[in-house]
Structure 1
C-alpha cells in the first residue's frame, strides 16, 4: 500500500472510530458530518473520499460499534477464572460501563434505531444488530455448563444485561441507577448458581 493510500486508510479509520463512539452516545440521528470531520482533523469536503453518503457512514459506524463489543465481552468473561459468566455480568453491569457509553456495548443505544424498520435511508442497522445479538447469545450460552437450557438462559441474561444498563443510564436518581445494576447482577448470578458475595 502506497503512502497516500495508507494515509487515506488511516483517516477513514479515524473517522469511523469517532463516528462509532458518537452513535453510541448521541444516536444515529444526531451524527453531523461537519463536526465529525472537524473532530477527525479533516475537511468537510474530504468526507466523500471515504464514504459514499452519510447513510453509508452511519451504517458502517453502527456495525463497527456493535462488533467492538464482542471482544470486550470475551475479555470480561476471561477475567474471572472461576466463573466466566459472573465475570461477564460484573463487567457489563459495572458502573464504568454505565458511565462510558461512548466505548460501551452498542446493543444498548442502538436498539431503538434497529427496532424501527432498520433500513431508513437504506441503512441496514437491523442486520448488524441481529448479528451482534446472535454473537452474544453464542458467547453467553457457551459459558453455561447446562447445555439443555443454555440458549434460553443466554437470551434471558442478555435481555437483562441490556435492559438494566439502558434503564440505569436513563433514570435521574443515581441511587436507583446503582440499584438496578446491583440487583440485576445479583439475580443473574443466583440464576447461574453463583453465590452472592459475602456481606
Structure 2
C-alpha cells in the first residue's frame, strides 16, 4: 500500500472511530459530517473520498461501535475469576458505564436506531446480540437453561442501563442499577437489599 493509500486508510479509520464514539453518546441522528471531519482533522470536502453518504458512514460507525463492546464484555467477565458472570454484571450495571455512554456498550444507544435501520445496520446489531448471548451462556452455571438465562440477562443489562441514563432522579438511576444487578446475580431472588 502506497504512502497516500496508508494515509487515506488511517484518515478513514479515524473518522469511523470518532463517529462510533459520537453515536454511542448521542445516537445516530446527531453527528454532522462537518463536525466529524473537523474533529478528525480533515476537510468536509474530503468526506466523499471515504464514504458514499452520511448513511454509509453511520452504518459503518455503528458496526465499529457495536464490535468494540465485545472485548470490553470479555474483559469485564475475566476481572472476577471466581464469578465471571457477576463481574460482567457489576461492570455493565456500574455507574462508570452509565456515566460514559461514548465509551459504553452500543447495544444500549443503538437499539432503536437498529430497529429502524437498513439491513446492514440490523445485521451488525444482531451479530453483537448473538456474541453477547454466547458469552453470557458460556458463563451460565445451568447449561440446560443457558440460552434463556443469557437472553434474560442481556435484556436486563441493556434495559436497566438505558433507563438509568434516561431518568432525571439520580437516586432512582442508582437504584435501578443496583436492584437489577442484585437480582441478576441472585437468580431473580432478592435475598438482601442491594447496596445503593
Calculate the TM-score normalised by the size of structure 1.
0.93
1:160 aligned onto 2:156:
yes
1:134 aligned onto 2:110:
no
Residue by residue over 1:94-151, the C-alpha shift from the partner in whole angstroms, topping out at 9 and shown as x without a partner, is: 10100000010000010111122x22xxx63111111111110000000012110000
RMSD (Å), alpha carbons: 1.8
Change (3 A) 1:138 1:145: same
Distance 2:88 2:69 in 1: 12
- Deviation, structure 1 residue 197: 9.7
Residue by residue over 1:3-43, the C-alpha shift from the partner in whole angstroms, topping out at 9 and shown as x without a partner, is: 21111111111100000011111111112100110011100
Unaligned runs of 5+ in 2: none
1:188 aligned onto 2:181:
no
Query: Does the 8 A contact of 1:108 with 1:162 survive in 2?
Result: yes
Question: What residue is the counterpart of 1:26 in the other structure?
Answer: 26
Matched residue SS, 2:51 = coil
Query: Does the 8 A contact of 2:140 with 2:146 survive in 1?
Result: yes
Query: Does the 8 A contact of 2:178 with 2:194 survive in 1?
Result: no
Matched residue SS, 2:149 = helix
Select the residue among 168, 175, 180 that pairs with 1:179: 175
Query: Does the 8 A contact of 1:67 with 1:132 survive in 2?
Result: yes
Distance 1:181 1:125 in 2: 28
- Deviation, structure 1 residue 198: 9.9
Unaligned runs of 5+ in 1: none
Question: What residue is the counterpart of 1:78 in the other structure?
Answer: 78
Matched residue SS, 1:148 = helix
Matched residue SS, 1:23 = helix
Aligned residues: 194
Distance 2:10 2:49 in 1: 12
Query: Does the 8 A contact of 1:189 with 1:196 survive in 2?
Result: no
Runs of 4+, deviation exceeding 6 Å: 195-199
Distance 1:92 1:125 in 2: 23
1:7 aligned onto 2:3:
no
Matched residue SS, 2:186 = helix
Distance 2:76 2:129 in 1: 17
Distance 1:161 1:198 in 2: 16
